[in-house]
Amino acid sequence: MLSWIGQWMGKASHYSYEQRFDQALKRTTAWGLPETLFCRSPERFVNEDRCQIFQQVVTDALSPLRAEEVSQQCFTITAALKAPLEHALQIPLVYTLGYVEYNHGKVFHSDVQQLKELLDNGITSPSLDLHAWLTLPSHEIIDITFGTTYGILTGTPDCVGKMCLLHPDDMPVEMQYHPQLVGEDYLERIGGMYSLTVLNLGRCT
């Protein structure tokens, strides 16, 4: 099911992932969720050796799964692979929630007000437009599931199996990450991580 890591490279965006991530950190604590320790680093960690390590860890974990199974378990797959990737790469990773702007459309998007209402009231419908990935101290990211989930939901087989391991500021303007919250506690507070992952992950808009 897996293919080699798809790195969306091209013209860098004028938007700063670091600024968006800092807002997500502040929003998380402002909403009364546990503070996430994030030790930022100017060093870029992604290199050929770490890409190979990343591929091995993810391949070992996901090779038994069908693409459809991966597309339905964005939250749990990302959470389950966080510790193994931290150990293999020797880099601390932060579980990150938000949406992706892809081809000038917002994918798996809920606005901040909707996310806060879910935190206050819990889940009221069997769907959640939200995505999960991992952020490195350098603000580089690891995204294991977007390509497969997007590919399955939109019938775009070329996307299935593609993953992301690079800095969002190096991505083209057609592929932008928007962190909104950090940590796994939000998902647990609004109704449980497992109950969310078995549902449709969202609409592609």
- Is-above-0.85 flag for pTM? yes
pLDDT per residue as tens digits for the range 36-90: 999 999 999 999 999 999 999 999 999 999 999 998 889 999 999 999 999 999 9
Task: Please check the confidence at residue 197 and state whether its pLDDT lies above 80.
Answer: no
Give 51-60's long-range contacts (Cβ < 8 A, gap of 24+).
51/5, 51/165, 53/88, 53/89, 54/5, 54/85, 54/88, 54/89, 54/142, 54/165, 55/4, 55/5, 56/88, 57/81, 57/84, 57/85, 57/88, 58/2, 58/85, 58/144, 58/163, 59/2
Residue of 31 and 6 predicted with greater confidence: 31
* Backbone dihedral region for residue 121 (phi beyond 0: left; psi -120 to 50: alpha; all else: beta): alpha
Tell me if 172 sits within 8 A of 9, measured CB to CB: yes
| Token duo for residue 112 | 């901040």
Residue 192 confidence (pLDDT): 54
Q: With 60 as the cut, is the pLDDT of residue 11 above it? A: no
Report d(CA 99, CA 70) in Å as an integer.
Answer: 18
For residues 82 and 10, give the distance between their C-alpha atoms in angstroms, rounded to a whole number: 27
The ranges assigned to domains in the chain are 17-33+42-197
Distance CA 110, CA 129 (A): 6
162 close to 168: Cβ distance less than 8 angstroms: no
- Which carries the bigger pLDDT value, residue 175 or residue 26? 26
Third-level CATH fold of 17-33+42-197:
Atu2299-like (3.10.550)
The answer to whether the beta carbons of residues 107 and 129 sit under 8 Å apart is no
